[in-house]
Structure 1
Amino acid sequence: MKTTSDASQTAHEPWNKGKLIGQKPPLKLQEIWTVRTQLRIAGNTRELALFNLAIDSKLRGCDLVALRVRDIAHGNHVVARASVVQHKTREPVRFELTDQTREAVQAWIKEAALSNGDYLFPSRQSGSPHLSARQYARIVKRWIGLMGADPQEYGSHSLRRTKATLIYRQTKNLRAVQLLLGHRKIESTVRYLGVEVDDALDIAEHIEC
């Protein structure tokens, strides 16, 4: 028989019991290409467009899944640069679309026969007009599996952080990354990328005692 104390403990288990917490790591270049290759081999036009757009746009999952065709295309032409209003901050953020992303998105729009006002990634489940953030998170876990990593160690923010981290490592330009992520304060960008810790480790690796 359970005591009152035992029942109380069961009812108040920590939300993060058995889960990995903390910042989710970004993808490495080799991992990006592994996922792209696997999606191309599978002929998965929809997910290839979603994956490439997630990397380039650096958008939060809720903003990514709510994109409409008109947000990134003019007629049949997918634009090189786009701007959307973020759900969290209600402020606009701009992003670039590389040639391979534009090609992937264009192929998906054509395959799905989407029109200008349609959601770019319609939901396949009734009751939702577009892919939900939760559905997107499950897709991300599947992508992580494709690259042979532990899905529990990554999340949708891994995709958001990927290109931003690569840009920072190549340029050390925090202001540029702040603008691309749509952060109001540069301190938020520092914490989001964990750059102080990474930079400290880089310095430490080159110091011999």
Structure 2
Amino acid sequence: MSGETPSSKKAAPPRRRGEAAAERRSRVLALPPASAGDAAAIAGFLDRLWAESGLSRASLDSYRRDLDGLARWLATRGGELATLQRGDLFDYLEWRGRHGYAARSNARLLSALRAFYGQRVRLGLRPDDPTALLAPPKLGRSLPKALSESEVEALLQAPAIDTPTGLRDRAMLELMYATGLRVSELVNLDAAAVNLRQGVLRVRGKGSRERLVPMGEEAQHWLETYLRDARPALAGGRPLPALFLTSGGEPPSRQQFWTVVKKLAAVAGIDPDRVSPHGLRHSFATHLLNHGADLRALQMLLGHSSLSTTQIYTYVAREGLKRLHAAHHPRA
């Protein structure tokens, strides 16, 4: 526009993490497709990996995306996964660095590649593993981001419970905060997994491991209200297995629930960038520890296979105590 100087132009807003990830995915999709040989090798690897380890569908999909991304990049150089050398891998990591991939993403890629080439070496399809001497990137400790108890309370109050979908959202939020479920566990719950008489859920978590999780009185109240007053309307009289339903009678996806949580955060007066469905799981764990919960019991509730995974929440609780001391102690 005339009269507009560079200094008067508005700076472009910073890209959010989701937008940057979408841009990286589109960049990979713009590459030529993987060769037929690579596509077959990836499919065979995933089939054998599932048979050997029983990995979840989400983990297998993650491995597939990482291997397909490398295969697509190799196709631009006339190469394939079967003939990849360590130098090719260094070049690919350098390309990813220039296009904004984080260290954690590269660490996940290397994990997939080690599994892929380790399997090929065991099957005699390759004499060497090009990832053998490659050190993973150093990852800083990433502390879970939990909401305060007052913020969680405001978020729980945000849905408009005079509509079937609003009542569903309230029940989902209450249940997630009361149980610490993963978002995938929440949206995939079956109605048959709910035992209202005993007040527990039967949850199928990572690796298809099942656990029983207590709901608590408040979450149970909202779940009973949803089942009585909202779910029949959403199901349209059909005997559908999913516990939570959209207005179309389908179970909500993780992305749909993510969008709902962001909108409700804005209604509650909380910065949506600070809130995510997984943040409610972090809040559940942190608040339990703050109120004296046992770490081993928390591990069972969260469905962690290793106690070391649960211990990260002790750092979050400790940092909260430090801030409380600094804010209120006269000699802090």
Task: Measure the CA separation in 1 of the matches of 2:152 and 2:177.
Answer: 9
Who is 2:40 aligned against?
Answer: none
Who is 1:46 aligned against?
Answer: 168
Runs of 4+ in 1 over 4 A off after TM superposition: 40-43, 114-117, 203-209
Task: Measure the CA separation in 1 of the matches of 2:145 and 2:162.
Answer: 26
Find the partner of 1:36 among 142, 156, 162. 156
Query: What per-residue deviation string (whole Å, max 9, x for no partner) do you get for residues 76-131 of structure 1?
Result: x4641222121x232122211122222211221222215775211124469xx411
Task: Measure the CA separation in 2 of the matches of 1:142 and 1:52.
Answer: 16
Is the counterpart of residue 100 in structure 1 residue 218 in structure 2?
yes
Contact 2:146 2:280 in 1 (8 A): yes
Aligned residue type for 1:26: A
Quick one: structure 1 residues 65 and 197, their matched pair in 2 at CA, closer, same or farther if it must change by over 3 Å?
closer
How many pairs does the alignment contain? 189
Contact 2:158 2:265 in 1 (8 A): no
Matches within 5 A, 1:33-182: 33-39=153-159, 43=163, 44-73=166-195, 77=196, 79-86=198-205, 88-110=206-228, 111-113=230-232, 118-124=241-247, 129-171=250-292, 173-182=294-303
Task: Measure the CA separation in 2 of the matches of 1:200 and 1:27.
Answer: 13
Task: Measure the CA separation in 2 of the matches of 1:138 and 1:25.
Answer: 18
Report the alpha carbon displacement of residue 42 of structure 1 after superposing the two structures with TM.
Answer: 5.5
Aligned residue type for 2:241: D
**5+ residue gaps in structure 2?**
1-94, 103-141
Report the alpha carbon displacement of residue 132 of structure 1 after superposing the two structures with TM.
Answer: 0.6
| Greater C-alpha Rg | 2
SS at 1:33's partner residue?
helix
Who is 1:6 aligned against?
Answer: none
**5+ residue gaps in structure 1?**
1-8, 17-21
Task: Measure the CA separation in 1 of the matches of 2:331 and 2:258.
Answer: 42
More helix by share: 2
Quick one: structure 1 residues 144 and 79, their matched pair in 2 at CA, closer, same or farther if it must change by over 3 Å?
farther
Aligned residue type for 2:202: S
Quick one: structure 1 residues 202 and 33, their matched pair in 2 at CA, closer, same or farther if it must change by over 3 Å?
closer
Find the partner of 1:185 among 306, 318, 326. 306
Task: Measure the CA separation in 1 of the matches of 2:159 and 2:148.
Answer: 17
Task: Measure the CA separation in 2 of the matches of 1:97 and 1:200.
Answer: 28
Sequence identity of aligned pairs in percent? 20
Report the TM-score, using the length of structure 2 for normalisation: 0.50
